[in-house]
Amino acid sequence: MGDRSINAFRISAVILLALTFVFLQAALGWPRQWLGAQVDLLPPLMVFTALRLGLGSILGLAFIGGLSLDALSLNPLGATPLPLCLIGLGLHLKRDQLLRDEVFAQTLLGLAAGAVAPLGTLLMILTAGASPLLGPGILWDLVVWMAGSAVATPLIFQLMRILEKALTYQPHSQPSFRPDREILRGRH
């Protein structure tokens, strides 16, 4: 029951975070003005979901987050979920071979996801017959996406750890002291 409630909490937190990230990407103009491109926060969230949660959460995040992003954007509806989903499934399958608790590994995975997800989405958009604004500037965008995702991934792991600690019941730890095994010294 405890594990199930923690999982339910994690899944709801991930979905809420995805919606918040999509909204912030659309509402905050300053990253675009300062960096020249908007940071995409769904790929780092997908890295967390793939390494910590199950298949249902990966599909949920990919479709709810991806479709929300497509709805607020001029992207053809359905262009974002598939690349996100494939990244998530790929990482989920290899999660036991990855040092997922290491910040360095999280950063590297975020870096890779930050490049693959937008490029995959672009490929989907081009396949759907739309013509987005492409040119040499996309290289700088790629650098911003990768750097943003690399920084955001360990932060998301930290954030979820803090949230879990603050909002869920912590497992009751059994003290090692047992009164029936206590060695009593002196006269009794």
Partner 1 sequence: MLTRKHFLGIVVAVVASLVLLALPTRLSLQVRSTLTNAFLPLFGLTRATHTVGEQLSLKLIPRSQLESEYVRLARENSQLRVQLATAAETARENRSLRALLGWKASTPWNLKLAQVILRDPANWWRAVQINLGSRDGVRLNATVLTPQGLVGRVASVGFDHAQVVLLGDPSCNVSAMVGTNERSAGIVGAASSLDSSMVEMTYLPRHADIPAGAPVHTSGLGGVFPKGILVGHVVDTQPVEYGLHLAARLRLSVNLSALEEVWVIVQ
Could you say which of 10, 46, 60, 75 contacts partner 1 (CB under 8 A)? 75
CB 44, min distance to partner 1, A: 15
Distance between CA 109 and CA 94 in Å, rounded?
Answer: 12
Is 8 near partner 1 (CB under 8 A)?
A: no
Angle of helix 81-93 relative to helix 42-52, nearest 10 degrees, comes to 30
CB 183, min distance to partner 1, A: 50
Which x/- pattern over 15-54 shows residues binding partner 1 (rule: CB under 8 A)? ----x--xx-xxx-x--xx---xx-x--------------
Q: Which is nearer to partner 1, 119 or 164 (CB)?
A: 119
Interface with partner 1 (CB under 8 A), residue total 54
Distance between CA 41 and CA 8 in Å, rounded?
Answer: 22
CB 82, min distance to partner 1, A: 4
Is 125 near partner 1 (CB under 8 A)?
A: yes
Dihedrals φ, ψ of 146, to 5°? -65, -45
Distance between CA 143 and CA 123 in Å, rounded?
Answer: 18
Could you say which of 43, 44, 60, 81 contacts partner 1 (CB under 8 A)? 81
Q: What is the DSSP string of 49-97?
A: HHHHS-HHHHHHHHHHHHHHHHHHSSSPTTTTHHHHHHHHHHHHHTGGG
- Residues 130-159 binding partner 1 (CB under 8 A) are 131-138, 140-141, 145
Is residue 94 within 8 A of residue 88, CB to CB? The reply is: no
CB 157, min distance to partner 1, A: 23
